[in-house]
Each structure stands twice: as C-alpha cells, then as structure tokens.
Amino acid sequence: MATDTKTDERVPPTPVNACMVQAFEWYVPADQKHWKRLAKVIPGLNSIGVSNIWIPPACKATSPQGNGYDIYDLYDLGEFDQKGSVPTKWGSREDLIALRDLAKEHSVGLYFDVVLNHKAGADHTERCKVVEVDPNDRTKAISDPYDIDGWFGFDFEGRGGKYSDMKYHWEHFSGTDFNNENGKKAIYSIVGKEWSPAVDTSEKGNFDYLMFADVDFSHPKVQEDVKNWGVWVTKELKLNGMRFDAARHFSEKFLKDFIHHLDENVPQSWFFVGEWWQDSAENMHKYLAMLDRKFSLFDAPLFYNFCEISTSERADLRRVFDGGLVQTMPVNAVTVVGNHDTQFGQASYVKMEGWMKALAYAIILLRIDGYPCVFYGVRRCFCLKLQIE
C-alpha cells in the first residue's frame, strides 16, 4: 500500500517545550563555590532542552551558611563585608556576574529567587508597642498593648549606602516573633499596624505573618525601596524572570504593583512564578485572577497526587492530574516533582518513592501542558547533578 510522503512533509514539527531547572537544593555545601559549579554546566544545558535556570536567593543572609531565605540585605549580592562574610553561601558577586554572562552567551535565562516577605538578622533592637495575637487566628489579640525590644533596626553599615540609602526601622514592619527583653517567643503585631488584608486568609485568620521581622508593604518608603531594588537587580543580572518566595504571606496588591513597575521600567518578555504551596487549586485560581493571570504558580496539588500514588497500593494513574493546576490552568502551572522545601527534614517534606519520581518526571517533561521544572536535588538520571558530579 502506497503512502503519501508529501502529506508528512507538510506537517510542522512539534514546538519545543520550555524547561527550567531549579539549580540548587537546601543542602548545597556552604563553600561559596556554587556559582562556579553552575558555570561549569551552563554550556551544555540548552542543547539538552533546558531554557532557564532558577538560581537561589543571592542576597546576603544572616550568616555565611544561610540559604538566603533568612534574608538580611537585598542589595548585597556577595559584595560587602556583612554578617561574617563578603560572599554569600553561594559565592561572590564577581562569580555571580560571570555566571550571568556565561548564561547569556549560551542562551540560558536566569530566574532570581526573590525574598520580600521579611527581613532577618537586624543590626540592633528597637522599642515599640505591640499586642500578642493568637497563633491560630492572627486577627485576635490575646494581650493588652505593651512595649518590647524587637529586632527591627537594619542599618546595612557594611554597604555604606551604596545602591540604596534606605535603612529599616520598626515602623517599616508589621510584626515579629521574639521579644529580646525577656526572650519570649510569640506572634507580636505592632500597635497602629495591620496585617495586610491582601494575603491568604484561608489559614490562621490572616497568613501575613510567617517569620522574622514582617515587612509592611503599605509603607510608602518600603514600596519605593523594593520597587527600585527590583529594577536594579534585573539590570544587574540581566534577569529573565523571578520566583517569589512565600507569595501567600505578603501583599498581593504590592506584588501586582511591583510587577507593573518592572514592566514599565524593564520592558521585556517576563516570567513570574510564586510559591503558593497549598493543595487547593481553587485558591490558586483566585490568586491568579487577582494578578490578571500574568503569573504562574507551582502545581502543589499535582505534586501531592504524585506522593499519594507512590504510597498507595491501588493507585489509579488515570486520575493523576485530577485537582492539579495544570489540568485547569495549564498556561499558569509550573509542574514539579520536588524542591528544596520538600526535601527530607524540611517543612513541606512528604514521602515520594524513588520509582515514582522517575515516572513523575516522565509525566511532566513529556506533557505539552505546564512548564516543567527539574530539581537539582534529584540524585540520579538528571543532567545537572550528573554533570556537576
């Protein structure tokens, strides 16, 4: 039987899907050499289908061992002698700039892990009036107002005002969790402030407060400083996108304004993704609608489906996508099989058998829907880890 080869020739090739790699894990050695590690593998990534890498928080943390989620100074990318070191855990600013240039040379985009929700490692305490709130319902005060010594004073003396002369004080925050006067741990809401109403309210009454000194994004000077930082860091590192840490816990309104400010000042094809780690796709839909769907979220419901299947005796793979964000809003879904927070010993750890991880990666990498993200922490069969080792 003859075949019409001309028909086959007219069929266009299937478009290549984008793929990102989360280029770090929680337990990377604190040897200040990670930017150099990544530089070694950049030249080969594009040829195997990796179009972008998500790099860790590159800002100065509270110590040389800090991963950056314990953020001290947004404007210190490993350039200044602060918190016990000039480089961050990941390396020096010079090494980061070299990685930036190499990535551009080989057409690999950089996504920056942005930590805006809080600040840590203050330089000194400041006295202010607070009320304690119920940990399970932060809208309820459980004490009368009284004064505490809170870690709210951020002077950034090692930076000396370079890039920004903004110093942070108690009025730039909405709460904290430690009274240095007596060592008491509680959730303290600063009197005269309010938790942001534009956050997740499906848990804790209001989930604005997460940890450390909670940044108040209703303060005009805070808004100005952080927006300026967004433009600065984008130009400094030639970023293609951003991953927003703890997106459930800081003002959705400010985030929308922040993105608009970037669009106006650095017009380009942006990619934004947020950490909204919850098993409810319905809540994700509401959040994405508020951001006009110019945003993506990690598909946590799909991740939990993978975990459940891996530990169930009679799992039905036909229903693996049920309830997942990729099923209902595929353009806004970043599909994952794990990340630094789901590793053993971390807050979001859930057991997933090894055989399921390989199958799950096949599912997300071969599916046209969703934007797959491969995790650096995978120990076998994935390019980045193997090339480095």
Q: Which residues are catalytic?
A: 245, 275
Q: Which residue has the tokens 């990318």?
A: 77
Residue 352, φ and ψ in degrees, nearest 5: -135, 125
User: Radius of gyration of the chain from Cα atoms?
Assistant: 22
Q: Where are the beta strands (DSSP E) in the chain?
A: 20-22, 52-55, 60-61, 71-73, 109-114, 118-119, 124-134, 137-141, 146-153, 173-179, 184-190, 213-215, 241-244, 271-274, 296-298, 333-336, 371-375
* Residue 340 C-beta-side C-alpha neighbours within 13 Å: 18
Q: Where are the beta strands (DSSP E) in 245-357?
A: 271-274, 296-298, 333-336
Long-range contacts, stretch 375-380, CB < 8 angstroms, 24+ apart: 375/21, 375/22, 375/25, 375/336, 375/337, 375/338, 375/339, 375/340, 376/21, 376/22, 376/23, 376/24, 376/25, 377/25, 377/26, 377/27, 377/338, 377/339, 377/340, 377/343, 378/337, 378/338
Residue 190, φ and ψ in degrees, nearest 5: -70, 130
Strands 333-336 and 371-375: parallel
